[in-house]
Chain A
Amino acid sequence: MRLEVLKTPAQRVGLACVALALVCSASLVAQSPFAPKVMGPLSQRVVAYQIDASYDPVQHAVDATETLTYRNLTGQPLSRFPFHLYLNAFQPKSTWMREAHRDGRFRLSRFETWEPKYYGSNEVTSFEVVGIGDLTKQMKFISPDDGNPDDKTVFEVQLPRPVAPGQDVQFKIKFRAKFPEVVARTGYKRTFLLAGQWFPKVGVWWHGAWNCHQFHALTEFFADFGTYDVRITLPKNYVLGATGIQTSDSDNGNGTKTVAFHAEDVHDFAWTADPNFRVIESEFDGSVGPVKIRLLSYTGHKSSWQRYVDALKATMQRFDQWYGPYPYAQITVVDPPHGGEEAGGMEYPTFITAGTDWFAFKGDHETELVTEHEFGHQYWYGMVATNEFENGWLDEGINSYTEAKVLDNMYGRNASNLNLLGAQMGDASVLRSYYLPVAETDSLARPSYTDMSLRSYGGVTYGKAASMLLTLETVIGAQTLRNALHVYFMKYRFTHPTQEDFLRTVNEVAGQNLNWYWQQAVYGTQVFDYAVLRADSTPTNWHEKDVKEKPGETMYETQVILQRKGDFIFPVEAEIKFDNGESARERWDGKDRWVRYVYRKKAQIRSVEIDPDHRILLDRNYLNNSYTTEPQRAAIHKIAAYWMFLTQMLGHILSWLV
């Protein structure tokens, strides 16, 4: 390692001592952060964070010292370094808060008015560069995305001399993190704390430039892989969980304890603490060895403990089999307390937060869904570390797609989301329902943080992306797409691929150029809507007088016209059924505005249906996808019966009041 920045012998000796201490401490780590058959390093370790933090549960604040060693692998000298201070987003004039207020709400929280409980901050009290000195006064807040002068979520420091390619530079940062009452994946609730995005984090040098966006309400994060050694001091009655594995737990003799964690080849570090946590442990036997499952939950959620563990194992099994191995030694699942739901449904490397209720119904698969979804992010975000600021769909969209595949496999396609009291809903239908209201707003390719609104971001990033991939299965097959995801995962894990990398991989594995599809579904906002325009049969001897139709004897000419109502061009299949039991399947390339099919046979048409297997999730209107010659009254009667009952009951209730 060349240490040009650290020029004096004293500095070099000092750093050598630190390095020696690191090696020693690493050797003291009895347990590897990886599964037994995995040997690190797995990534280009650009960063190494050592953080010594002390948590004050009364103030909901952390005072910490961070030592960040950054390795310059950019191939060019670097003198400017940007850092994230994510917790500063929770201030009234921040860009995050502007966006959340603009769109009315963020997840479960409403931001119509400012409330002091939302306040959070990251305050850097000292910023030193080893070998250069104290640069605290050189720190400058910047707003690269929107120029908001009041946003303090990114600061940069200009070094007096650059860090040469291949060199390391070490930052020593003292900071105080003040947490909000739980909001946007971080914060406290009563004695519970989820510490996410809590420490100063360097940006990512990506495609020849620093990529260090402000914190936006719409999008999530992006960071480099590296190692984390974090020591947390807090009252000794607290139970902790964190990214990586726990390496030590020492009683300080003053009512506090210090717990140390170690993680490798991850790009973030989150932790949680609560004296009321109950720890449930289990193990998943994966293809690279056993993985420890550590669930942190509450007595009140006891009925969900087994559900969490079962859902996690079932998910890990399928991911292991379909996409690739989970290489870490442990996965920690945090079940937030009631009222702390904003901390739920979030992913951090080897550490996920889920969510349940004390009364969670069995047929409501929400608990399993969240567990599955967040574990899926270990692959699509955790290991395949795409830029969530810019390409949200690469993690949320692909993950939503795999969520539907896993849940469908577990519970059946029509009931994978809900199967309760006669009502059913498949997960793919839920994802499609996100997409339908915003189908014409933002393209997937648009930088996610610039999407029209939170609703549009959610609908497009999760719903449209998943629907787009599910629809793609009709072109290349479900197995081919699964193979493509496997190849994509194995090829790009522990790197930062782009959307082009993903699209190219699918093209390669499918063995066909799918750019016609990507242009519309990823880069465009074309409306997808195919419809049945006409379907009828007439006797071929219609011109004769007194035509008498006889079933099975009269020859009919059947006309079927399919129409492309939207701009999205896509090959569709249609099934035509006749009253003698015969049927025909037609495949239309969908390019023209309409197509006509004519049949001459001794049978009349009974029905025609586009996408008879219901695989095209992108179609905006399912109601015009079919036509039957015989009226279908059952559904009308069913809804009308319920509607009428509700009307009657409402009248009864009103009459009771007067």
Chain B
Amino acid sequence: MTDEHGGLVAAGAHLVWRRRSVLWWVFIVNIALGVLGTLPAARQLHHTVRHTLAGEQLVKGFDLGMFYELLRLPEVNLFRFTVSSYLFASFFAIFMLFVSGGILEAYRQDRRLNTGDFFAASGGFFWRFVRLALMSLILFALLGDAYLGVEKASDYFGDKAVPDQVGFVIWIVGLIILGLLTLLVRLWFDIAKVRAVARNERSMLPNVVKAFDISRGQLGTLLWMYLRISLVAWITLLVAFLIWTKLPPTAIWATFILLELVMLVQLGARLWQMASATVWYQRQAEAVPTEIELPTPKLEEVTEAEPQLSLYPETELPAADD
């Protein structure tokens, strides 16, 4: 890893930190939608256990028997409230899709956008990103299908083998490979998003092809960049889990804070990936001195103070020498 590329992750992190108001807002919306998704279940719980001692068994150690009772009883039936969770989780996904344009524009310009500019950028790119999302979902669906294949292979070969772990090893290897492929698809479409914002691209299919074209020479570098950020998120999750196992069962507020910190890190990691992709795109654009004429982006009015890095043409860079 060269210093330049090694700095991508750090530069991405700095960018997220400089534009941290984005993270706070995303986190607040995530919390708000989480609360809304939880409210129906919480109301039912309130109605059911507010005046009973049954809940004690959930507080002083989590008694799964009592929890089962809550899930099972027709008059409680917490399962039906999962619909609300799905709904508000979907709202969050749509929200993130909507604000991605604004976030990437803020990262591209590396300055605080006012609300109008932010939402103008968000709105301006929303439908383009919807098209990108649909394209990426096709690939994710194919990867999902491949996962079913891995499961079948794991069952088949595991079933034939005498050692217990063969099936598990096949499954975990398959899972890692598919995980990396999933990450690759994500970063590819992230580059496409960054490029669309930088060049105000309107046609998404050629944009996706071009994004692949400019990033394929450095796929390893980019994948490693995304992987490291993902690992930070996973390791944080693991550490939080270990802390959680040490917390007394009655430490409800501490648990809540820990869970929300985990959530903050997860969201931060996602923005970190987006910021790093932006930095990478800008650097690779800077590395090519030849200028070409490009159509003026509509958003130029709100981004006139920024260095016009995006006006450099994209050329495939030589692969990193690490």
Residues of A within 8 A of B (CB): 190-191, 276, 298-301, 337-339, 357-359, 414-415, 418, 421-426, 429-430, 432-433, 436-437, 607, 609, 621-629, 631-652, 654-658
Contacts and interface: CB of A to CB of B under 8 A. Distances in A.
B69 A634 contact: no
A642 B259 contact: yes
Contacts of A621: 69, 73
A194 to B, nearest CB: 16
B206 interface: no
Contact of A645 (B63, B92, B253, B263): B263
A632 B56 contact: yes
B45 A656 contact: no
Contact of A627 (B48, B52, B59, B129): B52
A639 B73 contact: no
23 contacts: A298-B164, A337-B162, A337-B164, A357-B164, A414-B63, A418-B64, A433-B68, A623-B48, A623-B49, A623-B76, A626-B53, A629-B51, A632-B55, A633-B50, A635-B54, A636-B50, A637-B256, A644-B38, A647-B33, A647-B34, A650-B86, A651-B90, A654-B89
B158 interface: yes
Given A651-B34, A651-B89, 9 more contacts: A414-B61, A418-B64, A623-B52, A628-B52, A636-B45, A645-B34, A655-B92, A657-B93, A658-B96
A636 B44 CA distance: 9
Given A636-B46, A658-B137, A623 B266 contact: no
B162 A636 contact: no
A418 B244 CA distance: 18
Interface in B20-40: 30-31, 33-35, 37-38
Contact of B136 (A437, A636, A657): A657
A648 to B, nearest CB: 4
B70 interface: yes
Grouping DSSP codes into helix (H, G, I), strand (E, B) and loop, the B interface class, with mixed when no group exceeds half, is helix
Interface size, B (range): 35 or more
B58 interface: yes
Given A337-B162, A632-B55, A641 B93 contact: no
A658 B97 contact: yes
A403 to B, nearest CB: 16
B53 A640 contact: no
Given A625-B54, A641-B255, A635 B49 contact: yes
Interface string B74-96: 00100000000110111111011
B307 interface: no
A503 B171 CA distance: 52
A652 B266 contact: yes
B235 interface: no
Given A422-B62, A647-B33, A648-B30, A641 B259 contact: yes
B267 A652 contact: yes
B29 to A, nearest CB: 9
B298 interface: no
Contact of A301 (B89, B93, B129, B164): B164
A628 B53 contact: yes
Given A424-B63, A426-B65, A623-B52, A300 B165 contact: yes
B140 A645 contact: no
Contact of A651 (B30, B163, B259): B30
B165 A634 contact: no
Q: Looking at A300, A429, A656, which has the most chain B CB atoms within 10 Å of its CB?
A: A656
A629 B52 CA distance: 9
Contacts of A436: 69, 72
Contacts of A652: 30, 92, 263, 266-267, 270
